[in-house]
Amino acid sequence: MASTSTAPQAEAKPNIFSKHTIVLDHPVSKVFPVLGTAKNQEKITRACSSSLPITAFKLLNKDVVAVPRNTPLSELHDACDLPAAQEFESESKGARQLPRQSFAFTESQYLLCKSMSWNVRVEATLVWDEEEMTTLYESKITGRDDYRIWKLREMEEIEGGTKTRMTETLEGVYPGWNRKMFEKRTRQAHANQMELFHTFFD
């Protein structure tokens, strides 16, 4: 994502950026099923929204999408809108089938020292490539395209396969006037959220 954006170029371009790397004391064969697939998505979602309580979470449709073999997840545009792969069709066209899980959750947001609150529904999609140990997360607020988040999670084995280095690159679209302050807070929150992933293996 340093050279290619995961966001669609025809729409609002990302103006929020963050990147953080952690090292987990476990082999990638153990880490990827936990943090790279939809297996623990509700737990991950709640951990990544620790400052905004999740009041509802629901898994939606699960299917597969056909992605060209020479196209990494970092180059996908709107994975949530890709048509579902037809059985046997993708292989004949030189594509690979990747699992996709859609889900939705509701966050409680606050204003004025929590004197005012409201709920925001977020629609999200997860696509993962077990062969490349890469996962793409996309989300947007229901009914709005000007608040969006993309996270590309990449894993690699290190130290002879005994540990895993995981790097997550975040891009977002934020229309508010206080973008710089929001980006600063996003970077700190992003780092804090990823550090919580260590606790998934306690």
Domains of the chain: 16-201 (3.30.530.20)
The separation between CA 170 and the C-alpha centre of its own chain, rounded to angstroms, equals 8
pLDDT at 145: 75
pLDDT at 9: 44
Question: Does the global pTM surpass 0.75?
Answer: yes
Cα-Cα end-to-end distance for the chain: 31
d(CA 64, CA 69): 14
Q: Is the pLDDT of residue 194 over 60?
A: yes
Average pLDDT over residues 59-67: 93
Whether the Cβ atoms of residue 169 and residue 1 lie closer than 8 Å to each other: yes
Lowest mean pLDDT among 114-118, 132-136, 161-165: 114-118
Largest CA distance in the chain: 58
What token pair was written down for 89? 């069709």
Q: Is the pLDDT of residue 88 over 80?
A: no
Residues facing 134 on adjacent strands: 129, 154
pLDDT band at 8 (very low <50, low <70, confident <90, very high): very low
Average pLDDT over residues 176-198: 93
d(CA 119, CA 114): 13
pLDDT at 2: 44
